[in-house]
Amino acid sequence: MNDAERRELAEAVRRACLRAALEAYEEGGIAGLCQEGRWELAVQAIRTLDLAEPLRHE
């Protein structure tokens, strides 16, 4: 894997993490969670993210 491919992979993982966190944060707000609860939900979404998912879409 060359530098460009590694960078592309890293960017795909970053996008997936951001997407998961933002979606979880928004869902937490809709569910009525406080700011801290929404943040915890977002962090959990990143921790449990299927890292193979970005590879399937790139």
**CA dihedral over 28, 36, 48, 58, signed as positive or negative:** positive
Q: Which of 40, 43, 36 is nearest to 21 (CA)?
A: 43
At residue 8, the pLDDT reads 92
The pTM score is 0.84
Tens-place pLDDT, residues 1-58 = 899 999 999 999 999 999 999 999 999 999 999 999 999 999 999 999 998 877 776 5
**pLDDT value of position 54:** 73
Q: What is the amino acid identity at position 48?
A: T
Beta-carbon count within 10 A of 9 CB: 14
Q: What is the pLDDT of residue 58?
A: 54
